[in-house]
Structure 1
Amino acid sequence: MEKLVCIVIDDEPIGREVIETFVRDIPFLRLSASFGDPVEALSYLQDNRVDIVFSDIQMPKINGMELLRSLLHPPLVIFITAHRDFALDSFEAGVTDYLIKPVRFDRFLKAVNRAKDRISSQEAIPLQPSIDKIFVKSEGKLIKILLSEILYVESQGDYLKIVISSAAYMTQLTLKSMDEILNQPNFFRVQRSFILNLEAIRSINASTVELINGKSISIALNKKEELFALLGIK
């Protein structure tokens, strides 16, 4: 197994540093980022692969439970907190473990090994067949959208705008989760805020694509070569 990618979230610098040290002392973990601001951590989680999150619960702006519940496909979460009050809610929300500060290294390692075992068992499960439709909650209703109808998906803050030829829907999903759903050859994340259907491209002008509905979307510099390869452009 390759190293498990981890992030640490804690608004208290000392608590954050302790967990960072623990992570670095475990050979199969790799610390990719550490955050004192949970909102910055949420943004990072939407755009980056993370296997395990070590997070405090009581933090400003958004607490650990709210952060966990805001993710459609959250990584494994290990809460590390000075408070016992949230333990039941945490386990009901599916967290891997719940550690009380101050955390001993042996107890931390036990939690990490539990997470490692979960990830190993998940990797052994065969991939599910590709889906051809999704249901999204928009304006109080569940809307069925055929993936083939999607022209593009745009991130707008805490919401996603899903555009089809005849309508557009706003829903509370992350672009990262939508990227996983649209993991099919005809969809491509052309820049930080947009996923587009390659079949919906009408033309390309320099570093901009124009879709069949007239929408123009800029191509990120580091995505242009890959996009052209997918389209067979030399």
Structure 2
Amino acid sequence: MRCIAIDDETLALKLLEDNISQVPYLELTGSFHNPVKAMAFVHSDKPDLIFIDIEMPGMTGLDFIRSLPYQPMVILVTAYERFALDGFSLNVIDYLLKPVELSRFFQACNKAKNLHELQNRSEEKDQHIFVNSDYSQVKVELDDITWIESLKEYVRINLRSSNKPVVSRMTMKSLEDLLPASNFIRIHKSYLVSKKAITAVKKNSLFLGTLELPVSDTYRDTLQSFVNRLS
């Protein structure tokens, strides 16, 4: 599972990173002292699990959870017991009190792992989406999508099985929210691609076979993080 850690205290963040490194099924893709910077990363990377402190300058952990653009799993790690009810009202996976014993940390991570596996089994049953196109609802298999282009109020979905793309009147953000982050990655405000279709990556572009698409500065770190995980 891809995860990030957020804590404004350097020592606490280091301890959290060390604990995460001992859990074999966790992959730390980002570590942040500043929750505002972490929020920008979450928007592009969409981690499966977030470990976060509560009392932080600029934005509390609870405000961070309320501001999330989607619903990842969250484990709160804090020195304050009084926020437990607030945390669980936001559907956090677990609430860990500092200093956290490793056995208790593993217990919380196992909860997240079990939920993640359950969610994945549910997603596997639904490997397609329906989009409005040509005055009808068209079924599009996720594995058939190679890349998607934004055309202002429309999106053009390019398919492996056909030279004719599916054009639908919707925003790129709306379509991105329908697609699993495990299968697709945003590389530009105008382009979203299937991870399976990527054949090569350069500094400012990537290739889908012979097709070259630009990679913008906004999404370069996210793409590089994905490539590094495959190395």
Give the shorter-chain TM-score range: 0.5 to 0.7
Shift of 1:150: 2.8
Pairwise CA RMSD: 3.4
* Structure 1 residues 31-90: Cα deviation after superposition (integer angstroms, max 9, x where no partner): 112100001111111111412111001111111111112123232100001112221121
Does the 8 A contact of 2:44 with 2:186 survive in 1?
no
Aligned to 2:120: 123
Shift of 1:178: 5.4
Unaligned runs of 5+ in 2: 133-149, 156-167, 193-202, 214-231
Distance (whole Å) between structure 2 residues aligned to residue 182 and residue 121 of structure 1: 18
Aligned to 2:205: 222
Distance (whole Å) between structure 1 residues aligned to residue 37 and residue 209 of structure 2: 29
Unaligned runs of 5+ in 1: 134-146, 153-163, 197-219
Q: Which amino acid aligns with 1:83?
A: Y
Question: Does residue 28 of structure 1 match 2:25?
Answer: yes
* Structure 1 residues 162-186: Cα deviation after superposition (integer angstroms, max 9, x where no partner): xx98xx99xxxx95x7523267xxx
* Structure 1 residues 203-234: Cα deviation after superposition (integer angstroms, max 9, x where no partner): xxxxxxxxxxxxxxxxx9324x3497499xxx
Does the 8 A contact of 2:151 with 2:190 survive in 1?
no
Distance change (3 Å), C-alpha of 1:149 and 1:42:
closer
Question: Does residue 150 of structure 1 match 2:150?
Answer: no
**Matching residue within 70, 74, 79 for 1:73:** 70
Distance (whole Å) between structure 1 residues aligned to residue 151 and residue 32 of structure 2: 38
TM-score of the superposition, structure 2-length normalised?
A: 0.62
Aligned length: 169
Shift of 1:112: 0.3
- Larger C-alpha radius of gyration, 1 or 2? 1
Distance change (3 Å), C-alpha of 1:182 and 1:124:
closer
**Matching residue within 87, 91, 94 for 2:91:** 94
Distance (whole Å) between structure 2 residues aligned to residue 188 and residue 21 of structure 1: 28
Aligned to 2:229: none
Shift of 1:194: 3.8
Identity of aligned residues (%): 33
Distance change (3 Å), C-alpha of 1:112 and 1:181:
same
More helix by share: 2
Does the 8 A contact of 2:49 with 2:73 survive in 1?
yes
Distance (whole Å) between structure 1 residues aligned to residue 130 and residue 52 of structure 2: 33
* Structure 1 residues 150-170: Cα deviation after superposition (integer angstroms, max 9, x where no partner): 336xxxxxxxxxxx98xx99x
Distance (whole Å) between structure 2 residues aligned to residue 102 and residue 94 of structure 1: 22
* Segments of 4+ moved more than 4 angstroms: 187-190
